[in-house]
Amino acid sequence: MMQRRAFLQTALKGALLCGSGGAFLAAMLKAKHSKDSYALRPPGAEDEERFLSLCIRCGLCVKDCPYNTLKLATLLDHAKVGTPFFEARKVPCYLCPDIPCIKACPTSALDKKHLEKNQGVGSLKMGVAVVDPISCVAFWGIRCDVCYRVCPLIDRAIKLENKHNERTGKHAYMLPMVQNDVCVGCGLCERACITKEPAIRVLPVAFVSGKVGNHYVKGWDAKDQERVKDAKPNTLNPKTDNPLDYLNKGL
Amino acid sequence: MRYLVLRRLMQCGILALFAANTWILKGNLSASRLFNTIPLSDPFAALQVFLASLHVEITALLGALLVLCVYGLFLGRAFCAWVCPVNMIVDFAAWVRRKLQFRGVHLGLPKNLRYILLALSLILSFALATPAFESVSFIGVVQRGIILGTASWLIVALLLFCVDAFLGDKIICSKLCPLGAFYALTSRYALLKIKHDAMRCTKCELCWEICPERQVLWMVGLKSVSVNSGECTRCGRCIEVCEDDALGFSILDLKGSFKKKDLG
Ligand code: SF4
Ligand code: SF4
Ligand code: SF4
Ligand code: SF4
Ligand code: SF4
């Protein structure tokens, strides 16, 4: 009798511990490999480091968003567990003029500077929209300007570029061109895009923007040209430099 | 039973209020807004945020001070027994452990582990510039999961249950949880106390059996002093099991706070 009981106990313990441990592991792995392994943060959280040091994970921003845009990350989401993020294709940020999410944040993880007068939503930078020219039908020559028209910064964040369509000989392409410095990353375009998977997507700024090294000088800009004066020659050191990479050495 | 029922009502009621998301209570246990105006925040979480960001936001600070005052001055470590949802999980685990008589493994964890983890959380928050315990907090996962109505927190709940049921007695709350440690440290001089009357005590040790922090009951049967350790969660379990009326809640037992553990 006692033996069977002990056996059952051990079996139960083992099964439950393995089960919960396994489920935990599976959840973590799923999160790691989730398809959208990036997170768009709420308005005012442009500096991810600053944001992560301040967010107390209270969800007040989530609760005060009238469009239910924001979500707190669970174990299965890629964003750091408990922090707010949004998925533009599901619900974009509608850029409320009074930005209630920022108002709600008790720790200023969402930067209060955007609430100041004459700041406006134009100062936000949740991400940058990127067009995939392969699946955007405008690049096929089909007329679609949905993203252009839905953009709250119409004709500023996306401009339409006209180009002759060689294929038909008599039509024009009207190509959506995102102005990276103007786009605020609200995701309205991603939400509205007519293709099965959006041909225009918002990515966090860090995923999109590059950075020019100091040794490129705008020769046509008199002030920038000044910098050439105290420039040092940039020569290869055959011992330490890989000649295959010499064009961007020392960056 | 009285306090047990009250505690469950309180725990579930607070979570339900958060889940209902009305003007009464918004947010979650990390930080919230009461009646749409009064800020409340978890003082330990706020402390980590301050250390991580070196920035003090007035709303979070007020909220933290308010909560800290309520517990530090009046209710003691009542958060753990009356608010924290993990309490329901570990209580269930303890119940299963008792019923099925698991003696099982005893992890030889150091007695002061939770205080070490508390210090570690604060140091790491500063070093990593991110609220360290909040990033991995099982309390956070559980409470947010319940309030937001998601499911993945159940994994963590099961893990917590298994640890406390099979790996040893009361590991989560009295060995691992830095938030409990934080409240224990700040609750030393809170007014609400458990009063012990040694004259009535028959040394049945029932209170000892049931108490989640039994070291605080060192005076039982020996001395008529109040439970003066901040580690007492003011759960009232000891009061309920004591059949000799030797224990009860008391306030304004100021002397009790300062009594030393000298039994000589
Ligand atoms: S700006 Fe408005 S729509 Fe966008 S996340 Fe904040 S509250 Fe929601
Ligand atoms: S309101 Fe602020 S602190 Fe709370 S979850 Fe949102 S960003 Fe984080
Ligand atoms: S994300 Fe799209 S809709 Fe929003 S500003 Fe940028 S281009 Fe316009
Ligand atoms: S010790 Fe920690 S987990 Fe346990 S009840 Fe207190 S806060 Fe919750
Ligand atoms: S002494 Fe009593 S009230 Fe305090 S933790 Fe133990 S059982 Fe609960």
Rounded to a whole number, what is the distance in Å from the CA of A156 to chain B's nearest CA? Answer: 35
Dump pLDDT digits (tens) for B188-220: 888 888 888 888 888 888 888 888 888 888 888
A34: closest CA of chain B, how far (Å): 15
Q: Please give the average per-residue pLDDT across B166-183, as a whole number.
A: 88
| In contact, B145 and A27? CB cutoff 8 Å | no
**Residue B64 — pLDDT band, cuts 50, 70, 90?**
very high
CB within 8 Å: A57 and B30: yes
Instruction: Tell me if B158 and A13 make a contact (CB, 8 A cut-off).
Output: no
Q: Determine what percent of chain A is predicted with pLDDT higher than 90.
A: 50
Please tell me which of the candidates A55, A58, A80 has its beta carbon nearest to residue B28: A58
Quick one: which atom of ligand 5 is closest to the CA of B231?
A: 5
- Ligand 4 atom closest to the CA of B180, numbered from 1: 1
Q: What is the pLDDT of residue A25?
A: 56
Chain B residues in contact with A24 by the CB 8 A cut-off are 155-156, 159
Mutate to test the pocket of ligand 5, among B177, B196, B208, B238 (most ligand atoms within 8 A of CB): B238
Q: Do B53 and A76 touch (CB under 8 A)?
A: no
B contacts of A72 (beta carbons < 8 Å) = 144, 148
Distance A67 CA to ligand 3 centre (A): 17
State the distance from the centre of ligand 5 to the C-alpha of B186, rounded, in angstroms: 17
A207 pLDDT more than 80:
yes
**Is the model's pLDDT at A216 over the cut of 60?**
yes
B148 interaction partners in chain A (CB closer than 8 Å):
59, 72, 74
CA of A106 to the centre of ligand 4 (A): 24
Between CA A28 and CA A24 the distance in angstroms is: 6
Ligand 3, atom 2, lies closest to the CA of A189
Q: Could you say which of A13, A21, A63 has the minimum Cβ distance to residue B27?
A: A63
pLDDT tens digits for range B98-130: 888 777 666 777 888 889 889 988 998 898 888
Q: Of A24-28, B170-174, B250-254, where does mean pLDDT reach its minimum?
A: A24-28
Handedness of CA A67, A72, A75, A81 (dihedral sign): positive
| Ligand 2 proximity of A112 Cβ (cutoff 6 Å) | no
pLDDT higher than 60, residue A31: no
pLDDT at B255: 58
Burial code (b: 16+ CB inside 10 Å, e: under 16) for B191-200 equals bbbbbbeeee
Residue A70 scores a pLDDT above 70? yes
Contact B152 A27 (CB under 8 A): yes
Question: What tens digit of pLDDT does each residue of A89-106 get?
Answer: 999 999 998 899 999 999
Residue B52: pLDDT above 50?
Answer: yes
Task: Check whether B264 has a pLDDT greater than 50.
Answer: no
Closest Cα to atom 4 of ligand 3: A186
Instruction: Please tell me the pTM assigned to this model.
Output: 0.83
Ligand 3 center to residue A185 CA distance, Å? Answer: 5
For tokens 């786009």, what's the residue?
Answer: A183
ipTM value for the complex: 0.87
- Is pLDDT of A34 > 50? no
Helix (H) or strand (E) holding A200: strand A200-203
For residue A158, the ligand closest to its alpha carbon is 3
